[in-house]
């Protein structure tokens, strides 16, 4: 169980995930969150770089030390983190995003966050897990290669509120809201080490559900219809009447006519 969360903030770090990993190796206990105003070497899924412009976005990571967790259950933590980001933004700002499997939160087809979960083994068991989350908050300009699929909290709030009474995002309050939501979902998850108690809520906000998607693996690419997730957070798809299970990892899922 995740009982308490302790926060540390730095103006600039190389990577909040790497800072957490170093602290874990030095004996730090579960529940530490490190956040930064800027990351100089942020990381995304599948080896991608995650941009963290100074004081525009959230860069935050949490240390977990789940006793006796099965290694097969670790990827599901990423799915839970996506639920936490969606829930926190909804509670604070009243705007509901969707989840593009497995862990992207999207508004009108544009991505607002990135999540990277990493782990380290020791003596054949999971030693610790690091959950890293990046959320675009004040960002208004994005690199050319991602501008078509990126958005931020402030940009989305502008669409939904009167400009004279416009409410903008707040990085500190959103960071804490995300980890409080994560604690809620994680403690439900850890009882069964699967999505039994969370699957229904996750699928309610699954952007891909019922849609045609393109599965992109390193050596293969094909189209399918997304049906939902199984109890381990894997995506269930239909390929010409045949049901397949798509696990997280070296696979990307894209919409046929766009990012989602």
pTM confidence score: 0.92
C-alpha–C-alpha distance, residues 229 and 202, integer Å? 8
* Lookup result for tokens 């995002």: 169
pLDDT score, position 250: 57
Length of the chain equals 260
Q: What is the DSSP string of 206-223?
A: BTTTTSEEEEE-SS-EEE
List, for residues 198-253, the tens digit of each pLDDT value: 999 999 999 999 999 999 877 788 999 999 999 999 999 999 999 999 987 657 88
Cβ contact 116:132 at 8 Å? yes
The sign of the torsion formed by the CA atoms of 228, 232, 238, 242 equals negative
CATH level 2 (architecture), domain 207-255: Roll (2.30)
List, for residues 90-130, the tens digit of each pLDDT value: 999 999 999 999 999 999 999 999 999 999 999 999 999 99
Cβ contact 105:89 at 8 Å? yes
Q: What is the CATH number of domain 6-203?
A: 3.30.930.10
pLDDT bin (cut points 50, 70, 90) of residue 260 is: confident
The sign of the torsion formed by the CA atoms of 81, 87, 92, 93 equals positive
Mean pLDDT of the chain: 90
Q: For residue 135, what are the CA distances in angstroms to 28, 52, 75, 131, 180?
A: 25, 9, 20, 13, 16
DSSP state of 258: S
To the nearest whole percent, how much of the chain has pLDDT over 90? 76
Based on C-alpha coordinates, what's the Rg of the chain? 18
Of 44-53, 161-170, 178-187, which gets the smallest average pLDDT?
44-53
Annotated domain spans of the chain: 6-203, 207-255
Taking residues 138-162, what's their average pLDDT? 89
C-alpha–C-alpha distance, residues 224 and 68, integer Å? 36
β-pairing verdict for 98-100 and 104-107: antiparallel
Region class of 183: left (phi > 0), else alpha (psi between -120 and 50), else beta: alpha
pLDDT score, position 165: 53
Secondary structure of residue 125 in the 3-state scheme:
strand
pLDDT score, position 259: 77
pLDDT at 174 over 70: yes
Cβ contact 163:111 at 8 Å? no
**Structure tokens belonging to residue 73:** 């259950």
Strand partners, 221: 216
Which stretches does DSSP call E strand in 2-112?
Answer: 6-10, 32-36, 57-64, 98-100, 104-107, 110-111
Of 31-45, 112-126, 128-142, 158-172, which gets the smallest average pLDDT?
158-172
pLDDT score, position 166: 58
Cβ contact 62:33 at 8 Å? yes
């Amino acid at each position: 169980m995740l009982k308490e969360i302790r926060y540390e903030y730095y103006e600039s770090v190389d990577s909040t995930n790497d800072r957490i990993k170093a602290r874990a190796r030095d004996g730090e206990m579960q529940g530490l969150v490190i956040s930064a105003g800027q990351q100089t070497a942020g990381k995304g899924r599948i080896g991608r770089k995650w941009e963290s412009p100074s004081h525009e976005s959230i860069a935050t990571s949490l240390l977990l030390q789940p006793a006796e967790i099965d290694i097969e259950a670790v990827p599901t933590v990423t799915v839970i983190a996506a639920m936490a980001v969606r829930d926190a933004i909804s509670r604070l700002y009243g705007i509901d995003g969707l989840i593009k499997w497995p862990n992207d939160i999207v508004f009108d087809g544009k991505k607002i966050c990135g999540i990277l979960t990493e782990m380290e083994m020791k003596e054949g068991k999971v030693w610790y897990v690091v959950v890293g989350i990046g959320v675009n908050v004040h960002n208004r300009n994005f690199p050319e290669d991602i501008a078509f699929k990126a958005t931020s909290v402030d940009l989305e709030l502008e669409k939904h509120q009167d400009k004279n009474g416009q409410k903008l995002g707040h990085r500190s309050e959103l960071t804490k809201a995300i980890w409080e939501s994560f604690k809620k979902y994680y403690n439900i998850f850890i009882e069964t080490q699967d999505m039994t108690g969370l699957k229904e809520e996750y699928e309610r906000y699954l952007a891909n559900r019922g849609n045609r998607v393109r599965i992109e693996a390193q050596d293969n690419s094909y189209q399918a219809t997304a049906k939902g997730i199984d109890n381990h957070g894997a995506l269930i798809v239909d390929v010409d009447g045949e049901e397949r299970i798509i696990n997280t990892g070296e696979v990307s899922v894209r919409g046929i006519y766009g990012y989602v």
